[in-house]
Chains A and B, each alone.
Chain A
Amino acid sequence: MKAKEQLVKERRVSAPSDNAPPPIATSVIGISKRFGKTGVLENINLEVAEGEVLVLLGASGSGKTTILRIIAGLEQPNTGRIELHGRDVTDLPARERGVGVIFQSYALFPKMTVEKNIGYGLRIRRRRRKEIRKTVDELLSLVQLEEHRKKYPSQLSGGQQQRVAIARTLAYKPEVLLFDEPFGALDTQTRTHLRREIRALLRRVNVPAVFITHDQEEALELGDRVAVINKGHIEQIGTPYEIYNHPATEYVATFLGAANILDAVVREGFIETECAQFPTQLDRQKFRPGDRVKVVFRPEDVSLSRTDFLKTDQLKLAPAHVEEVSFVGAYERLRLRLEPPGGADCAEGETPYYLTTETPENRPHSIIATRSKPEASSAQLHIGDRVIVAITSYTVLPSD
């Protein structure tokens, strides 16, 4: 069921569209940056298409903010170029680039009213008062703040301030919008709400945007594409679907949520882990028999049954014992200890099974599975129960 759904999605993603691809709005070409002796960015290459939303996802200190500041012209790269609609702007100061930056703190001018803030970009461009007035009115109604036009930023809520900040940049028709952790200062509920609001707003104005975040859920929901940044380089760029379901590296797999990782060896026509073998077709160019690899799969891709009867899309991994059952709101989470073909618990000593997120302490011999509520209640499992573990979707990564 699940696999079928994924196949449909996958086809849609991989099928090339008939229309010509939209023009590139922003290119980051070979950017490197060092602060003193520490390298912050290393050969970053990115492209943002017209109307597209690209999310830079990374932990704090990964260099994602520096990329944004370099695009904006607030920081100078050591090597590389920035192009906006094909125009090289690397040597232009921030004020001549025409990009819109929405700062984490919104950076609204505290002594200006909402309408003065929004009109600022046009006032310093010496536009006619009538024209400014008209644009400000339009933007106020776009962000639905008409009744707040005479207020000062400190009198607005966080979400309203953010809308003013966006309107303020839209006033001068920016080539690209850059959002620096825009939801960082808000509580979870407001954050989810605003995220959807901004997504809808961006679709309406059709301005390309780059978001910065460390929140994987936010990245997946906001981005047309997501670039995962780690220690100053790009680990992977792809659609949310691609990076979540087909992570290119272990870092991407673990950063985007919980992932089970099994050490395995490539054999002719199948993969062998210490507990199981399963048939697979791998890219011959990338993997040769005898190579050590990692098999990555998400907790929700694990299916459990009491019998050996499996559906066609399921790959049998191994029998396992339930070690822990916990109820986590929307779903049930189980920790399972895999059983080797021989009988005793699989793989003592080395760490064939480990979990990289969700559990801070490294639990070497277990995998994590999640089940939906109806599944959990129709086939209840208790600690000590023996189940057959199968997976419906997985990714094979080279082992390093």
Chain B
Amino acid sequence: MSTVVPTMRHVRGFDVVRPLSIGMLVFMMLPLVFLPLASIFIFGTSNGLDKFWAALMQPEAVFALKLSMATSFWATVFNVIFGLFAAYVLSRHNFWGRNALIVTISLPTAIPTAVAGFALLLLWGPYGTLGRFLTPHGFQLMFTAGAIILANIFVTFPLAFGVIKPVFDTMSRSLEEASATIGATRWQTFWHVTLPSLRGAIVSGALLTFARAVGEFGSTILVSGNLAGRTQTAPLYIFAKFNEGQIEAANAIAIVLALFSFLIFSVLFFARDWFDVD
């Protein structure tokens, strides 16, 4: 009852703070977020849609987009499975060094991406710690699509884990115990009981990982070699075309990437509701 009175007062009177604060928020976001995004679309389509389409259909551009999607896809597959496994181990078992492992898994987000790429080069590169033994045998991981996947895995390592682990932590143990007493094996319990409760977390973890991997630049430029039509991803293509002064070509890809991330984040926003229906 007591809460009704102050709310009524707000409805009846005019609360200045409300429109003012909302307006201020939008105004602050305008130059920081809205206008930069808008200018991509305004500039990219200013010469007509056919110009935009032509720029997008350049073989190198198409290749760059496809490569970005493929490498991000495999990095996502790996990191979701790994994140699921890591979350399972770290929330179900308590052991010495558990916290150290959790911190280590989360570390890659804090490391500058250029440092990450550099670290991979130092390990796998022709003169790297492992690479110098492998290169003479004809095994060279760096400057291939494999290197891009590896870099993507590294920089997106903790994302899926970070979404899945809290769900594991809050999941009641008695569900799994109930399944066991009913007669299910560990695998059946995982498949029928544990996994369905993780659907929402897996989907949002995957989207987050994928979105982040598609946009990865700093580590990719170091490990990929940036060869157009061979190891050039979409962000690298934008950078290369920009350097060459082909702004329209760069812009076309930029629009695609921006739209793509809009799509992913709208799905992310609703993912929990769609996949966690009870």
Q: Does chain A bind chain B?
A: yes
B7 within 8 A of A: no
Residues 113-148 of A contacting B (Cβ, < 8 Å): 120-121, 123-125
A107 touches B174 (CB 8 A): yes
Number of interface residues of B (CB under 8 A): 19
Docked pose: A319 CA to B188 CA in angstroms: 71
Contact of A110 with B278 at beta-carbon distance under 8 Å, contacts A105-B172, A124-B188, A124-B192 already known: yes
Contacting residues, chain A, for B180 (C-beta < 8 A): 73-74, 93-95
Contacting residues, chain A, for B178 (C-beta < 8 A): 101, 103, 107, 109
A109 touches B183 (CB 8 A): no
B197 touches A111 (CB 8 A): yes
B278 touches A111 (CB 8 A): yes
Contact of A72 with B181 at beta-carbon distance under 8 Å, contacts A109-B192, A109-B193, A111-B197 already known: yes
Q: List 24 A-B contacts (CB under 8 A).
A: A73-B180, A73-B181, A95-B181, A95-B184, A95-B185, A96-B183, A98-B183, A100-B181, A103-B177, A105-B174, A107-B172, A107-B175, A107-B177, A107-B178, A109-B179, A110-B278, A111-B199, A120-B192, A124-B182, A124-B184, A124-B185, A154-B278, A169-B182, A172-B182
Docked pose: A168 CA to B184 CA in angstroms: 13
Partner of A103, one of B174, B199, B278: B174
A99 within 8 A of B: yes
B182 touches A120 (CB 8 A): yes
Contacting residues, chain B, for A93 (C-beta < 8 A): 180
Contacting residues, chain A, for B199 (C-beta < 8 A): 111
A168 touches B181 (CB 8 A): no
Question: Which residue of B is nearest A69, CB measured?
Answer: B177
Contacting residues, chain B, for A111 (C-beta < 8 A): 196-197, 199, 278
A321 within 8 A of B: no
Question: Which residue of B is nearest A178, CB measured?
Answer: B181
Residues 160-194 of B contacting A (Cβ, < 8 Å): 172, 174-175, 177-185, 188, 192-193
B165 to chain A, nearest CB (A): 19
A33 to chain B, nearest CB (A): 17
B278 touches A172 (CB 8 A): no
Contacting residues, chain A, for B184 (C-beta < 8 A): 95, 120, 124
Contacting residues, chain A, for B188 (C-beta < 8 A): 124
Docked pose: A111 CA to B197 CA in angstroms: 7
Question: Which residue of A is nearest B195, CB measured?
Answer: A111
A109 touches B181 (CB 8 A): no
Docked pose: A155 CA to B278 CA in angstroms: 8
A199-226 to B contact mask, C-beta < 8 Å, 1/0: 0000000000000000000000000000
Contacting residues, chain B, for A74 (C-beta < 8 A): 177, 180-181
Contacting residues, chain B, for A154 (C-beta < 8 A): 278
Contacting residues, chain B, for A100 (C-beta < 8 A): 181-182
A152 within 8 A of B: yes
A360 to chain B, nearest CB (A): 34
A84-112 to B contact mask, C-beta < 8 Å, 1/0: 00000000011111111101110101111
Docked pose: A168 CA to B179 CA in angstroms: 10
Extra contacts, 18 of them, besides A100-B182, A103-B177, A104-B174 (Cβ < 8 A), are: A74-B177, A74-B180, A94-B177, A95-B180, A95-B184, A100-B181, A101-B181, A103-B174, A105-B174, A109-B196, A110-B197, A111-B199, A111-B278, A120-B182, A124-B182, A124-B188, A124-B192, A169-B181
A97 touches B278 (CB 8 A): no
Contacting residues, chain A, for B278 (C-beta < 8 A): 110-111, 152-155
Partner of B175, one of A98, A109, A123: A109
Contacting residues, chain B, for A168 (C-beta < 8 A): 182
Question: Which residue of B is nearest A165, CB measured?
Answer: B178
A37 to chain B, nearest CB (A): 18
A95 touches B183 (CB 8 A): yes
Residues 163-184 of A contacting B (Cβ, < 8 Å): 168-169, 172
